[in-house]
Amino acid sequence: MISTRNPFKRTAMSVAIVAAAVVSGTAYAGVTDKDIVQDAATPGDVVSFGMGTQGQRFSALDQINVDTVKDLVPAWSMSFGGEKQRGQESQPLIHDGVMFVTASYSRLFAIDVKTGVKLWKYEHRLPDGIMPCCDVVNRGAALFDNLVIFGTLDAQLVALDRETGKVVWKEKVDSYKAGYSMTAAPIIVKGMVISGVSGGEFGVVGRIEARDAKTGKMKWVRPVVEGHMGYTFDDAGNKKDNGVSGTVNATWPGDLWKTGGAATWAGATYDPETNLIFAGTGNPAPWNSHLRPGDNLFSSSTVAINPDTGKIVWHYQTTPHDGWDFDGVNEFVSFDYTDPKTGKVIKAGGKADRNGFFFVLDRTNGKLLNAFPFVNKITWADSINLETGRPNYTKGGRPGDPSESKDGKKGEVVFSAPSFLGGKNQQQIAYNPDTGYFYVPANEWGMDIWNEPVSYKKGAAYLGAGFTIKPLHEEYIGALRAVDPATGKIVWEHTNYAPLWGGVLTTRGGLTFFGTPEGYLRALDAKTGKEVWSFQTGSGVVAPPVTWEMDGDQYIAVVSGWGGAVPLWGGEVARRVNFLEQGGSVWVFKLHK
């Protein structure tokens, strides 16, 4: 799709920064495992996706608060430039005076965080045949030692020198010709880079991989489609069987597990307290569920993996036998809360699933603690059975079997809500321990959906379904909602005309920040939902904001650039918001003094 070159040139600014460090006697100290584990507690940087390995996206900074936010103004903005616009879903990382931010078409920028001056840019050379399902997006990088590591649309992991942008190592994850790609931000756990794969619409096999972050050499791989073998690798690269995921054919018929989907396209979180990696898994392939009777483990699930062994410790399936492309890939956020009945502190995790239900699990064992709707209309299930953990399916809620139709080509059409783009999709939730609320960027939409015959062909779309997405209301689609995980109550909501597609940041200053496709970065009172500030960035915001402190000032940053899955797959919704303009830039704000 693109063919560009990496200039690999150190700019005068980067030379000056290195020289200043030498003169002052402060050599650069690389990002360590300790830095990453403590990210949420260190306000001077952002070194992990999620602003902490648990993914809470909460900051204890309070200089910018409900009283002072009115004075928040731009400090600088930098354009990604060129003609490579499309969706910009990246979360910036900030360390030692430099911001690292990815952009569409597998680009990565290093920026002087004080001035907004570009230090260097890396542009990955992409082949013509890449097949990303949902725009040419990238959600961010990982930092470790002196490396900046990110995944590319042709399914490679690339590690760059943080000072120069030069490639230190590069590893092929899988074949882009078979539909594999990478869009998620990797994370670092115990010196290993943890990454997933995209491509569920092409019948790939979802998995989580662990590599030595300094060398790129494989440590272990864990497939998340039942029946596939996991492996560990020694220092010489020799692999050893590490047990089958699940049991062959236990929940998949015939050979369909071999191309079962369950792509891990949104990445993972890590909880040091339980020493578990939590990864969401995507839709089973194909979408036509009548071809694959059974629960189809471990698709549309959360899996907990031990990073030391690469084995699945527990799993919870949010949509067994998924027939609506609901996935289960949404992030699992660790948090603690006090049980109102017993007074006991529970080590829990929260997940706003694409299927429209919010799930609260015991993160030590995967036991379901609570499940409740966070959208207003759900047609595929009445509720989640809190005893069995399984959905109570509605009669007639599943699209019909095409083999039972007159012509055998199109099954019965059903209207389903949410749409397959979900009650929540890639846009990240946030948890504020001060309020006890999760902040969920939700969407109210539905779809006409039907099944069709389909067979697997390498590199071809593997759906077996058709669909048209429709808004449920004239006034709004998006709604940022404050959700109490203990009670299941929606405390307040802030509606938006267009769908919400960007993540959330919440702070001790009593604020919750989020962006809109219309281009606004907004701040709400975290307790009441009242809007207290907004700024127009010039293009749609479909990325999560971050905050940090530098030289006594608190900063907010967000990437702007409309795109992602909505304009590509959104049907009537895409036509409703076709007036929105593309872009590509990063904005940084501070208080005017």
Q: All domains of the chain, ordered by start, with CATH?
A: 12-591 (2.140.10.10)
The angle formed by the CA atoms of residues 148, 51 and 566, to the nearest 5 degrees, is 85
**Dist CA 500 CA 423 (whole Å):** 10
Cα angle for residues 480, 386, 312 (degrees, 5° grid): 85
Q: How far apart, in whole angstroms, are the C-alpha atoms of residue 330 and residue 265?
A: 9
- For CA atoms 42, 43, 45, 47, give the dihedral sign: positive
Instruction: Supply the pLDDT for residue 5.
Output: 35
Structure tokens at 574: 């895409």
pLDDT 10s per residue in the chain (593 long)?
Answer: 323 333 334 444 444 444 444 334 456 779 999 999 999 999 999 999 999 999 999 999 999 999 999 999 999 999 998 777 889 999 999 999 999 999 999 999 999 999 999 999 999 999 999 999 899 999 999 999 999 999 999 999 999 999 999 999 999 999 999 999 999 999 999 999 999 999 999 999 999 999 999 999 999 999 999 999 999 999 999 999 999 999 999 999 999 999 999 999 999 999 999 999 999 999 999 999 999 999 999 999 999 999 999 999 999 999 999 999 999 999 999 999 998 888 899 999 999 999 999 999 999 999 999 999 999 999 999 999 999 999 999 999 999 999 999 888 999 999 999 999 999 999 999 999 999 999 999 999 999 999 999 999 999 999 999 999 999 999 999 999 999 999 999 999 999 999 999 999 999 999 999 999 999 999 999 999 999 999 999 999 999 999 999 999 999 999 999 999 999 998 899 998 899 989 999 999 999 98
Show Cβ contacts of residue 220 under 8 Å, excluding neighbours closer than 6 positions: 209, 210, 230, 231, 232, 233, 242, 309, 310
The predicted pLDDT at position 341 comes to 83
The whole-number pLDDT of residue 26 equals: 56
CB 565 within 8 A of CB 425: yes
Name beta bridge partners: 284: 261
Dihedral sign, CA of 397, 403, 405, 410?
Answer: positive
**pLDDT value at residue 310:** 98
**Whole-model pTM over 0.85:** yes
Bin 364: left if φ > 0, else alpha if -120 < ψ < 50, else beta. Answer: alpha
- Report yes or no: 210 and 250 within 8 Å, Cβ to Cβ: no
Give the pLDDT of residue 339: 86
Residue 57's φ and ψ, nearest 5 degrees, are 55, 40
- Measured CA to CA, the distance from residue 588 to residue 225 in angstroms comes to 41
**What is the set of active-site residues?**
325
